């Protein structure tokens, strides 16, 4: 495991990047603080300081929309209020609007070059975007301004490690531990660096045991210790560590995979298979579980099952870095719209429409006017045969973005399947008005012609579609049906053979 969690600045589960807040909460009861701040604004609506403090309180209480509105009200009255720009950046970052968040943080720094919150915010965005040199620069400046801030030291270490500057990464991680010995993540990161990069895994184990002496109930530490012991060839000790992690959290997927891997090395095949199957049940897109299960089956001579699992591993592993990246973003901020949509898109590509739909629904709960999320949700519903809901979602997408040609095409497809041929024709025509070279929209009109009993017109449409995309399976299949309707069995059979050939070369397409 070579990736590291990223940290903003967390206390009591609340992320705080705002100027003046540092890593200290301003109240043990964020709800009470929010109520008091709201009352202060109601008592004096023109008091900008009160509005700013209300924005801070709303952010701390997780009321992001209220926070954004409050900071915006301050900035409309005083566009040079650096704290409100920092606050705006933090809210936008939490909402997954990274480009706008960067602009807000940069504006804050232009007004106040010593705004440590803005530097940290830019650093975190850069880490998420894998711009490690920029992240290093931002966190270096943040550390210059506030040297004794452990999370900034940690994230600076992450940036150095991603640039393969392991000596400096170790220095920053160790400094983070010196500043806060209870801080778990630097111990984990150091263990990974020592084991995976420096060949000093025993030092990694020592650090993890040191951390566990202080935090014996930290699941991450037990799981990481299991991984280190496994790397050192001590499978029995690895099993014990993973089992301790699972006693604390029975659905910790990485611990289950580690346990299954260690048990396989000890010849405990039944227990290993149970652990790995449970991991896959909990997270079917965790590739290592499929890989280890394939190896286990191979050891047992179950070659067909082993091959199937290896094929699943290879299919999922293509997306693993992206999946891990999106999940890292969501671990920091469960409301990151871009990450939710990105993860949903991968799940859809992997043939998991129900899981994809769940991600899009979460995104829309945060950003109900996001046309792409509505479109993608419609596609997930379509694949689940939830036609009415698919049509509603596609309609919402085109209502929000009338020029969204693909959404019009997919709306037409769903309407056609639902038997709404006239409505489907209108949708396909709208798509072609926006994108005349949209092969799938031409094919859709061909299908509408077939439904209306006009195979000759359908043939012309399918041929237009195939001139634009000769591999379009729906075009070849439609031609086969149209030729069949005219009694031309030779051409129909020819198109069916082409359809079958292309279908074998690519996944079956759906909106």
For 174-183, write each residue's pLDDT tens digit.
999 999 999 9
At residue 386, the pLDDT reads 96
Indicate the pairing of strand 10-11 with strand 14-15.
antiparallel
Give the DSSP letter of residue 198: S
Give the pLDDT mean for 424-447. Answer: 96
| pTM of the predicted model as reported, rounded to 2 decimal places | 0.76
Number of Cβ within 10 Å of residue 100's Cβ equals: 14
Please classify residue 327 by burial: count the beta carbons closer than 10 Å to its beta carbon, then call 0-12 exposed, 13-18 middle and 19+ buried.
Answer: middle
> Is the pLDDT reported for residue 138 higher than 70?
yes
**What band does 13 get if pLDDT is binned at 50, 70 and 90?**
very low
Compare 484 and 325 and report the one with higher pLDDT: 484
> Is the pLDDT reported for residue 14 higher than 50?
no
Site of tokens 């060949």: 199
Give the pLDDT mean for 352-361. Answer: 96
At residue 17, the pLDDT reads 26
Residue extent(s) of CATH 1.25.40.10 domains in the chain: 231-316, 425-511
Domain 425-511 CATH (choose: 3.40.50.12280, 3.40.1370.10, 1.20.59.10, 1.25.40.10) = 1.25.40.10
Please classify residue 199 by burial: count the beta carbons closer than 10 Å to its beta carbon, then call 0-12 exposed, 13-18 middle and 19+ buried.
Answer: exposed
Give the pLDDT mean for 469-486. Answer: 93
Compare 378 and 60 and report the one with higher pLDDT: 378
**What band does 434 get if pLDDT is binned at 50, 70 and 90?**
very high
At residue 26, the pLDDT reads 42
**What band does 5 get if pLDDT is binned at 50, 70 and 90?**
low
> Is the pLDDT reported for residue 342 higher than 60?
yes
> Is the pLDDT reported for residue 27 higher than 60?
no
pLDDT digits (tens, 9 = 90+) for 188-220: 999 999 999 999 999 999 999 999 999 999 999
At residue 332, the pLDDT reads 76
At residue 2, the pLDDT reads 52
**What band does 135 get if pLDDT is binned at 50, 70 and 90?**
very high
Give the pLDDT mean for 110-127. Answer: 96
pLDDT digits (tens, 9 = 90+) for 38-55: 898 889 988 999 999 999
**What band does 271 get if pLDDT is binned at 50, 70 and 90?**
very high
At residue 22, the pLDDT reads 32
Q: From the CA atom positions of the chain, what is the Rg in Å?
A: 28
Q: Provide the β-strand partners of residue 10.
A: 15
Q: What is the mean pLDDT of the chain?
A: 91
Q: Which CATH class is domain 231-316?
A: mainly alpha
**What band does 20 get if pLDDT is binned at 50, 70 and 90?**
very low
> Is the pLDDT reported for residue 256 higher than 60?
yes
355-384 b/e with 16+ CB inside 10 Å = b?
A: bbbbbbebbbebbeebbbbbbbbbbbbbbe
> Is the pLDDT reported for residue 431 higher than 50?
yes
């Amino acid at each position: 495991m070579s990736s590291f969690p990223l940290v903003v600045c967390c206390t009591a589960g609340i992320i705080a990047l705002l100027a003046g807040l540092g890593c200290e909460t301003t109240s043990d009861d964020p709800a009470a603080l929010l109520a008091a701040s709201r009352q202060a604004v109601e008592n004096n609506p023109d008091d900008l300081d009160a509005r700013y403090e209300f924005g801070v309180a709303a952010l701390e209480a997780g009321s992001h929309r209220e926070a954004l509105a409050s900071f915006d009200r301050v900035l409309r009255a005083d566009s040079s209020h650096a704290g409100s720009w920092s606050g705006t950046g933090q809210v936008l970052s939490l909402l997954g609007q990274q480009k706008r968040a960067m602009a807000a943080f940069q504006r804050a720094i232009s007004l106040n070059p010593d705004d440590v919150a803005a530097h940290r915010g830019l650093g975190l965005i850069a880490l998420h975007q894998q711009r490690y040199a920029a992240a290093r620069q931002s966190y270096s400046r943040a550390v210059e301004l506030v040297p004794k801030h452990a999370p900034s030291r940690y994230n600076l270490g992450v940036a150095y490690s991603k640039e393969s500057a392991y000596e400096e990464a170790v220095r920053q991680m160790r400094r983070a531990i010196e500043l806060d010995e209870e801080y778990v993540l630097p111990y984990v990161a150091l263990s990974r660096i020592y084991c995976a990069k420096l060949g000093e895994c025993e030092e990694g184990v020592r650090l993890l045991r040191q951390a566990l002496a202080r935090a014996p109930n930290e699941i991450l530490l037990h799981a990481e210790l299991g991984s280190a012991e496994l790397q050192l060839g001590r499978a029995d000790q690895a099993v014990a560590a993973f089992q301790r992690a699972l006693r604390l959290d029975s659905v910790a997927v990485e611990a289950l995979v580690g346990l299954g891997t260690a048990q396989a090395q000890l010849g405990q095949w039944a227990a290993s298979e149970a652990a790995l199957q449970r991991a896959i049940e909990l997270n079917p897109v965790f590739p290592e579980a499929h890989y280890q299960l394939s190896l286990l089956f191979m050891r047992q001579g179950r070659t067909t099952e082993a091959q199937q699992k290896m094929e699943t591993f290879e299919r999922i592993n293509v997306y693993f870095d992206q999946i891990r990246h999106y999940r890292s973003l969501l671990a920091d901020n469960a409301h990151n719209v871009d990450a939710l949509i990105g993860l949903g898109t991968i799940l859809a590509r992997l043939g998991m429409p129900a899981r994809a739909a769940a991600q899009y629904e979460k995104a829309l709960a945060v950003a109900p006017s996001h046309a792409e999320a509505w479109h993608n949700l419609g596609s997930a519903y379509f694949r689940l045969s939830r036609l009415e809901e698919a049509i509603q979602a596609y309609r919402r997408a085109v209502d929000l973005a009338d020029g969204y040609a693909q959404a019009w095409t997919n709306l037409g497809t769903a309407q056609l399947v639902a038997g709404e041929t006239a409505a489907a024709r209108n949708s396909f025509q709208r798509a072609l008005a926006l994108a005349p070279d949209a092969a799938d929209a031409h094919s859709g009109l061909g299908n509408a012609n077939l439904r209306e009993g006009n195979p000759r017109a359908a043939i012309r449409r399918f041929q237009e579609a195939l001139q634009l995309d000769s591999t379009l399976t729906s075009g070849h299949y439609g031609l086969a049906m149209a030729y069949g309707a005219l009694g031309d069995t030779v051409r129909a059979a020819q198109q069916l053979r082409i359809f079958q050939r292309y279908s074998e070369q690519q996944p079956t397409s759906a909106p």
